[in-house]
Chains A and B, each alone.
Chain A
Amino acid sequence: MPKLIDDSTMLYEILNVKIHNTVDEFGEEVIDKCSRLLGARRVYLRIEMNGEHKYFLLGFRDRIEAEGVVEEAKSTSRGNIFLHEFGRGIFYVETTYRIDCSDRRVISSFASRVEEVAERFAAEKSRLEFERLKVLVNSIPDAVVVVDSLGKIVDVNDRFSKITGLSPSEVIGRSIKDLSCLESVEDIEKLVKSKNGARVKVRIYGSTFEINSAPVLETDKFVLVMRDITDLEIMNRRLQTLVDCLRSYIFMKDKNLKYILVNKSFANFLRRRKEEIIGRKGEDLLPPELAKVCKESDLKVLKSGREQGFEVELNVNGEVRFFEGYKVPVLSGMEVNSIVGVIRDVTERKKVEELRRFRTLLDYSTDAIFITDEDGRIVDMNEIARMWTEKAGNAENVKDVISGNWDKEVFEGYSEDRIVLVSVRSAKFAGKNYRIVTARDITELKRSQEKIRKMNKQLRFLNRILRHDIANNLTSIIGFLEMYKENGDRKYFDRIEKIIDNCVDLIQKVRNYETMIAEGSLSAVNVRKVLKKVLENIRGDGVEVELSGDECEVVADEFVTSVFENIVNNAIQHNTKSKKKVSVEVRCCDDYVEVRIKDNGPGIPDSVKERIFEEGFIYGLTGRTGIGLYIVKSLMEKYGGTVKVEDNEPEGSVFVLKFRRYCK
């Protein structure tokens, strides 16, 4: 060793090795002192600190090079090397000079100091680490108990003492079985023996604790960490209650698609207890087809890590029900470790949607549709029906809206001024009997039918005249002409002339009939004035006329003249007396006007009274076309009136015409 400037100062400095904050500072100091004070050219210091090795090198590129040199030094003896091995490491010093006895004493002292400080440093570090761990263990909210393999308590933390009310001195050394405050001690023993990190629950003074065990490395001891899960369990119960209250079916599956949580609704749906479902797979519980669908969607969620929605139609107890739901992945880091599924029975909603769609269709219907109870009280109706009901004073019973024969399933009825075709069907909803009443407005249809009927009647009438009457007349004319050719008698010309007149008259009446019967607007007509004019035309030439009664206005048109002319002409035509008499009486009543036309003719037998107004009915030798009275009846019907014939006293007939009185 080189000559020291001041031996005592240097020795002091060499031996003044302190415990630093970090082991690196300690190593730096050793290296500095070795090089600066001892003149070392190579130094190797290895210290074991809490299971790890720290290395400090001088003059070595790396640890491997250093360890090679140190290993070699162990087997050789060189004068410039000092090697000191101690419990926690190795201290190697290589100098540029030969180390003599006095040098060795100094270096040895330094090495001892290094060892001492290293030990103290490590011990201090261990103590600090222990203290740190103790503080850590005491600061955690969990109770910690260290037991040996026999279950004897070795140590406890503050939390354990607080929970059990037992101080460390009261429990250390006692078997955990002897602690009366712990329930389910047998489970704890099993837990210790199992060594597989299993968990058990114990109760301490009403609180629930979950215990995890872990072996203490290289010892026969175990650490039992007791976590108070009372609040957690309460929260779990609340959550379970909450989830159970939901009508939706809720479940949770693990990665193996086994149920790990289900709610009450789901259990009820499967008709099993929850315990029977937990831990089992869908294929063990669901119908095969449904299980297959569920499994496919589960796998999709697991694979994609994304939410999946689905809809499924199931036959439940013979009833088709609709379900929709979604499955959500529960992530642990980037990996899906479970799936939460929520399923809702949407059958009722579907029905409502269906009903709404149906309702929309109903509202677009032109028919009135009522849904009533068995007594006809309206339960529901479509838009048209609502309008009819409003017009009927918001009637509550369909029978007040539509009148008709409600004993029939199909009938024609009336609603206000409408003619309706009603169809009644029975139906059963939700266990109740209902009637579906469909009413179609056929007013227009009926009018059209009536019009067609009338037109058919006219066509038949015209057809008969053309085909029968005029053809017959033409046949008669041909016959008379043949007879004239044979004997040249001019009387046949008279006969032919009469037949032709008859035909012309017939054609004229048919033409008038078409015009008169055709629909037109009706107005007020003073029948007395019309009658006066008609009677003036026939007065004289052996005909006596008489007009009496009130000035009245009736509902009619200009063809009302034809009514009176036909009756008056008939009265004269069929009257064979030399002095013919026609008297007319007009009587105004409250809402109608009666016109009575009397003659003194032969009268009409009762047997034909009913038929004289029929189309083409000809009676007696004086009968001609058979159209006149038919026109009278048709016009009176057009006017909303009636006509009938009665016997006149003492002789003749009286035609009674009843008109609607015109009201301003």
Chain B
Amino acid sequence: MISCGSGLMKVGVCTGRNAPDVASEVVEELGDASFAIFFTTEVLSEEDIEEVREVIRCPFIGCYTEGVIHDGKIVEGTGVLALKGVKAATELSNSPTRIGEKLGRVKEGTAILFLNWMTRKISSFLRSVYNQLGFNFSYTGGCSGILGGGFTFQFSERGMSENMTCAASLNVRMSVAFDHGWEVLCGPYIITKYKDDRIYELDGKCAFEVYCKATRCQKENFEECRKEYPFGFLCACGKYMLRAPLEYFKDGSMRLMSEVPYSSVTLIMGCKEEEDVINAAENAARSALMQHRKGKFALVFDCVSRKELLGSRFSEELERLNEVIEIPYLGMLSVGEIVSSQKVCTPSFHNKSVVVAVGGE
């Protein structure tokens, strides 16, 4: 159990096997919590949620993840970050408008969203939420579940669902930063034919052919290469917004993890050194912390594909994050990350990135 606090806000972070137990523990430490975030690798039941609700007695949100990040390592079980002295609103819904309306009860601060990674048109979904809440909020969060596993669930004090978006607004403006460590390998390419999340043609040529030509990818090693070579899209924040390819089709088209921006230009990104990837995580943490020097707690969303890419060196990334983030934090392995920044205040959906959000008084 890690806890800290001075002034009005108090933070408690705790991990353990059982969600109700960790909830009890954090409540015991903090007294009455006013908001809590749960990440769990356990499959919870409605009864578990009910038990957590009875113990914690405050708004909370949470989601299922492949791994809980805490104390510089991956933890199996449930982690909770509880806050005292904050105001929060939560919603569990499929409607971005409804989520925006409910979260708008908090006038300004941070919106934290946990989506099912299979939600269609995530960028449009996030923009609809933004239209309700506006630029007085920073946005963070991630998609829950296991990449390729299909199973996921999100929950709040309102219940749990496999397919709904779980969101909360806090009256704490968090500083959000992200980085990924990938660099331009080839491009730019004009996406000449696309529809929703599929790219058919790049510069008028078959998308998969162009992709293979630019990388070492072949049909046989696509699964391996797609982790290494995502597509990059220009972003006003100065960094590329990555989109991971998920599959290719016989017609030579490729499906990405979310919709392709209209009439956009893309680049094929490559990871030259694993060290760059690990450094990027550290950069993201430092950037967020720099923006909020009085940070009291942090949330980390680290893309699960980074773990797959880095393999055993992923622990290094976590250690580096742990070294940099000296305040209580809790993180999850995400399948896509949600970011807004000072430069681009609209929430955008990224892949293969580390997002660090720092909050405090």
Residues on A lying within 8 angstroms of B by beta carbon are: 1-6, 9-10, 12-13, 16-18, 20, 25, 28-29, 31-33, 35-42, 57-61, 96-97
Contacts and interface: CB of A to CB of B under 8 A. Distances in A.
Interface in B265-303: 265, 267
A2 B343 contact: yes
A59 B136 CA distance: 10
B346 A41 contact: yes
A398 to B, nearest CB: 103
B234 A96 contact: no
Tell me which of B190, B236, B238 has the highest count of chain A C-beta atoms within 10 A of its own C-beta. Answer: B236
B262 A32 contact: yes
Contacts of B236: 1-2, 4, 35-39
Contacts of B190: 16
B56 to A, nearest CB: 32
Contacts of A38: 236
B343 A5 contact: no
A59 B130 contact: yes
Give the size range of B's interface with the partner: 20 to 34
B350 to A, nearest CB: 11
B225 interface: no
Given A2-B236, A36-B233, 18 more contacts: A2-B237, A3-B238, A4-B238, A5-B234, A6-B188, A12-B265, A13-B263, A28-B262, A29-B262, A32-B262, A35-B127, A39-B344, A41-B345, A41-B346, A58-B130, A59-B131, A60-B134, A96-B344
Contact of A20 (B131, B132, B262, B267): B262
Interface string B124-149: 10010011101100000000000000
Given A18-B263, A31-B127, A59-B134, A9 B346 contact: no
A235 to B, nearest CB: 52
A58 B346 CA distance: 9
B234 A9 contact: yes
B188 A9 contact: yes
Contacts of A16: 190, 263, 265
B125 to A, nearest CB: 13
Interface string B228-248: 000001111111110000000
A4 B234 CA distance: 8
Q: From B124, B233, B346, name the one whose CB has the most chain A CB atoms within 10 angstroms.
A: B346
A10 B188 CA distance: 10
Contact of A96 (B124, B240, B345): B345
B204 interface: no
A203 to B, nearest CB: 56
Contact of B344 (A17, A20, A35, A60): A35
B131 A58 contact: yes
B123 interface: yes
A4 B124 CA distance: 24
Nearest to A1: B236
Interface in B330-357: 342-346, 348
Given A5-B234, A36-B348, A58-B346, A41 B263 contact: no
B202 to A, nearest CB: 14
Q: Which of A4, A13, A29, A97 has the most CB of B within 10 A?
A: A13
A25 B234 contact: no
B234 to A, nearest CB: 5
**Across the A-B interface, the 3 shortest Cβ-Cβ residue pairs:** A29-B262, A39-B236, A35-B346
Interface in B94-146: 123-124, 127, 130-132, 134-135
B264 interface: yes
Contacts of B262: 18, 20, 25, 28-29, 32-33
B261 interface: yes
B343 A37 contact: no
Q: Which of A12, A39, A40 has the most CB of B within 10 A?
A: A39
A102 to B, nearest CB: 14
Contacts of B234: 4-6, 9-10, 13, 36-37
